[in-house]
């Protein structure tokens, strides 16, 4: 005997509903768990992958107590102990260079110059900058180098509060600029046109060091003798301050590098939309998780 129509819901009898509705509820819970788990895969920290940086990875640097990496759509950091943390305030800021002054960590990109006073956990826009687009950035103490396709090289001697133009050279620079800790007039930058370039007069002039053109990033150890230039066609290493260069095998997709405060060479490669970092260990590269 069929149930009266007024007792049916969704065409189901009360008896059928006792079996179907619990099943639907369980299915809904499973779907919800799957959804939020997939969302969680892009959360700020993870044990096996780096932060989300988007389709382009531009810069990595070891600053203070953290290792920073940034790209077109995002940036993140890794403390000495623990996994990676996404920096929400740099989402879609297209970070292209990092720097640390005596009191701040700076991030420069197509969206301008951003500063952090909490060791890189959060960043805010620096107002009053004479340019809107920052393609390269570096600092030592209160001296900050900034390169923009709008004007070239600008330098600050007050920790990034004010900048003055130094040279029209630098319009094709990108990435993190290395600045000598003992002499801030000496710096090395990455030029898309001329490869690795050096200044010894505070950014007024820049001299090519002989690496391949099309350079996207440069890394220099604290002594200034070991230089890594990463370009469109691979990486080159110099162990004599840029006098000679030799090809260096790096992980596929590598587009940025940095020497850490302990002297280790670290490179960053793009894997989908995430950055994967590797530390050099002799002739091998170990992933940093």
pLDDT tens-digit profile of 117-147? 999 999 999 999 999 999 999 999 999 999 9
Instruction: Give me the residue spans of the domains in the chain.
Output: 5-40, 57-288
Residue 29 phi, psi (nearest 5): -65, -45
Distant-in-sequence, close-in-space partners of 150: CB < 8 Å, separation ≥ 6? 131, 132, 133, 171
CA–CA dist 137, 286 (Å, integer): 27
Per-residue pLDDT, 210: 95
Per-residue pLDDT, 27: 38
Of the chain, the percentage scoring pLDDT greater than 90 comes to 77
CA–CA dist 149, 96 (Å, integer): 13
Superfamily of domain 57-288: YVTN repeat-like/Quinoprotein amine dehydrogenase (2.130.10.10)
CA–CA dist 244, 210 (Å, integer): 7
pLDDT band at 85 (very low <50, low <70, confident <90, very high): very high
CA–CA dist 175, 191 (Å, integer): 9
User: Could you tell me if 114 and 89 are in contact, meaning their C-beta atoms sit under 8 angstroms apart?
Assistant: yes
Per-residue pLDDT, 13: 52
With b meaning 16 or more CB within 10 Å and e meaning fewer, what string describes 162-172? ebeebbebbbb
CA–CA dist 35, 128 (Å, integer): 43
Range with the lowest mean pLDDT among 43-57, 121-135, 224-238? 43-57
């Amino acid at each position: 005997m069929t149930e009266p129509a007024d007792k049916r819901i969704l065409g189901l009898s009360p008896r059928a509903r006792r079996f179907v509705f619990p099943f639907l509820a369980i299915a809904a819970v499973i779907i919800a768990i799957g959804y939020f788990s997939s969302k969680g895969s892009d959360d700020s920290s993870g044990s096996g992958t780096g932060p989300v940086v988007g389709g382009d990875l531009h810069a990595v640097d070891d600053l203070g107590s953290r290792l920073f990496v940034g790209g077109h759509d995002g940036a993140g950091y890794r403390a000495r102990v623990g996994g990676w943390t996404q920096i929400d305030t740099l989402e879609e800021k297209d970070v292209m260079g990092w720097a640390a002054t005596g009191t701040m960590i700076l991030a420069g990109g197509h969206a301008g110059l951003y500063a952090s006073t909490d060791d890189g956990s959060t960043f805010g826009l620096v107002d009053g900058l004479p340019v809107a687009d920052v393609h390269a950035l570096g600092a030592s103490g209160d001296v900050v180098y900034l390169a923009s396709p709008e004007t070239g090289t600008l330098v600050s001697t007050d920790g990034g509060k004010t900048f003055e133009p130094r040279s029209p050279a630098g319009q094709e620079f990108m990435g993190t600029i290395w600045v000598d800790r003992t002499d801030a007039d000496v710096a090395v930058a990455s030029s898309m046109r001329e490869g690795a370039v050096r200044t010894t007069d505070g950014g007024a002039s820049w001299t090519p060091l002989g690496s391949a053109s099309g350079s996207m990033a440069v890394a220099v150890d604290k002594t200034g003798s070991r230089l890594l230039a990463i370009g469109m066609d691979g990486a080159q290493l110099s162990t004599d301050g840029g006098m000679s260069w030799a090809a260096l095998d790096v992980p596929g997709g590598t587009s940025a590098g940095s020497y850490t405060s302990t002297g280790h060479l670290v490179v960053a490669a793009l894997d989908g939309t995430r950055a994967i970092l590797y530390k050099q260990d002799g002739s091998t590269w170990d992933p940093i998780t």
